[in-house]
Structure 1
Amino acid sequence: MNLMMEREKILQSALAGDINAFQTLFAEFQNQLKSYLYRLLTDRNDVNDLAHDTFIKAYTKISTFNQESSLKTWVFKIATNLAYDHLRKSKRWQTDAQDRAANLAIGSEEIRKVFWMVHDTSPAGAYEMREHIDYCFTCISKTLPIEKQVALILRNIYDFQVKEICLILDKTEGVIKHLLNDAKNTMTDIFEHRCALVNQNGVCHQCSHINEIFNPKQNQQEELMKLELVKASKKYNREQLFELRTLLAKAIDPLNAAGTDFHEEIMRCLRTAIGEIDFFDRSEDKT
């Protein structure tokens, strides 16, 4: 039996209610689904909860899957709707959210101690510039209206086709193309004025500054020049630089990277600075 026939057999078993068969298919894109949810929710606990809820809802509704799309697209639609419900009362982030987080960290010795502890003791506590650029991509995407953020992330980071995004968002092709164009233009404008790595008139120096703090023996210029984004900054226009940023973000799994734990703390600091959570309230943390 060839691979295609075997997969069809598993799908038919899943459609008949076999949870093990469904788990096998779900596992094929589970890590990507969680990564996608993290870019929307920016909280690992929420990601785990919604990924679990997505699995349960998709399995219980599997009889309604009519195979007009891939199973992955259908499941991502369920996950997106759950994320919408979760984020419904949340406000869009402002473009100065990272500045507010930096000011909070600078003014709080307790928060800085947490950063140092995670950096020194966690196996995922490293600081890498390319990972921080991905972190910035997530933060800046959060300034978009949710539909524009979803469309852009699905298309540019996870390579969904426009017709698939139409199904996920229940929009026409024209609307999706409009959302994508607006989202890209907005993020390009924000990056042009903020990212000091490729625009020395920018105001965000987090990448090089934090790297200097946590990797003091590292040659800053050498590390910067390892990034294609920086090397290309003098010859590419702003649209091309945006494409390079998306390529870098696509290559990083924000939940399974060298600095995942470290960036989780930075994200908690940011969300505290904008009033979403309390940095020191770990009551919802899962063990």
Structure 2
Amino acid sequence: MDKEEILKKALTGDINSFQTLFAGFQTQLKSYLYRLLVDRNDVDDLTHDTFIRAFDKISTFNRESSLKTWVFKIATHLAYDHLKKLKRWPADAQDQGAMLAIGTQEIGQAFRIVHQTSNAGAYEMKEHVDFCFTCISKTLPIENQVALILKDIYDFQVKEICLILDKTEGVIKHLLIDARSTMTDIFENRCALINKNGVCHQCSQLNEIFNPKQNQQEQLMKLELVKASKKFNREELFTLRTILVKAIDPLHSSGTELHDIIMKCTRTAIGERSNFFDETKERIH
């Protein structure tokens, strides 16, 4: 049965057909939601809620867009309801997380346990660049963050983002310009990979901690971002960063578990979550 026939059956309320279509983009949907929510439990909950709501409303799908775009719209609105209760992140959120980890023995020990025992506890600089991109994107207003991630990471067209955010093409283009400009400014001033005066050396510092025998310069030069840092302008470097991020699934990478616990530490440091220490004790004991 071809995709069109499956869609016709789904539109009549056949849940198995809808599940088949949903499964075709579920991995990408969950990756997208993680970049917005940075909490795997919330991602699972919202993915489930999105499926239920989309299936309940399937009769209203008028095929003005693809089913994928329509479902992403539902997921985005659910994520927005969740995120609007939270504050935007400060640009130094990762610094605050690092300070908490350095000053708290239990957290540092939990990091090492995950790195040493988890199949997804590896550390790679390119995955930390992805982690950093997610953190910096959370400094943006929600609509700017959504527009940027949909366009630059998941290759949605502007007209599709218009449908998802219920905005005009002009507004979406403005959101994208503003988001890219803000992100580029932050990276240029913070990231030591592209600016020798950058204040953030986390990629290199964590590589030294978790891969002490690895040649740091060799790892750096594997990154196109670093190779191009002296000859490309800041907009081109931002594009290189998005290319790197596109290639990584934050929920299924070699360092998923390690970055998950680093993210929890970061969120604790900025006051977005408060139960990190209980989870840390469980890992240690």
Specify the TM-score bucket, using the shorter chain as the normaliser: over 0.9
How far is the alpha carbon of 1:281 from its aligned partner?
Answer: 3.8
Residue 280 of structure 1 is matched in structure 2 by: 277
Give deviations 1:96-123, integer Å, cap 9, x for gaps. Answer: 1111011101101100000000000000
Residue 94 of structure 2 is matched in structure 1 by: 98
The 2-side partners of 1:87 and 1:224 are apart by 34
Residue 24 of structure 1 is matched in structure 2 by: 20
Matched, 1:204 2:200: yes
Percent identity over the alignment is 76
Amino acid at match of 1:280: F
Matched, 1:70 2:70: no
Which ranges of structure 1 fall in alignment gaps of 5 or more residues? none
Residue 80 of structure 1 is matched in structure 2 by: 76
Q: Structure 1 residue aligned with 2:30, among 31, 34, 37?
A: 34
Matched, 1:167 2:149: no
Amino acid at match of 1:209: Q
Residue aligned with 2:277, SS: coil
Q: How many residues align?
A: 280
The 1-side partners of 2:278 and 2:190 are apart by 30
The 1-side partners of 2:249 and 2:197 are apart by 29
Matched, 1:227 2:219: no
The 2-side partners of 1:160 and 1:203 are apart by 33
Residue aligned with 1:28, SS: helix
Matched, 1:130 2:126: yes
Give deviations 1:25-84, integer Å, cap 9, x for gaps. Answer: 001100000000000000000000000000000011100000000000000000000001
Which ranges of structure 2 fall in alignment gaps of 5 or more residues? none
How far is the alpha carbon of 1:9 from its aligned partner?
Answer: 0.5
Amino acid at match of 1:251: A
TM-score (norm 1): 0.96
The 2-side partners of 1:82 and 1:89 are apart by 12
The 2-side partners of 1:150 and 1:7 are apart by 28
The 1-side partners of 2:279 and 2:75 are apart by 25
The 2-side partners of 1:175 and 1:227 are apart by 34
Residue 185 of structure 1 is matched in structure 2 by: 181
The 2-side partners of 1:215 and 1:12 are apart by 52
TM-score (norm 2): 0.97
Matched, 1:56 2:57: no
How far is the alpha carbon of 1:280 from its aligned partner?
Answer: 2.0
Aligned pairs (5 A) from 1:140-151: 140-151=136-147
The 2-side partners of 1:102 and 1:280 are apart by 15
How far is the alpha carbon of 1:282 from its aligned partner?
Answer: 4.0
The 2-side partners of 1:282 and 1:218 are apart by 30
Give deviations 1:110-164, integer Å, cap 9, x for gaps. Answer: 0000000000000000000000000000000000000000000000000000000
Residue 253 of structure 1 is matched in structure 2 by: 249
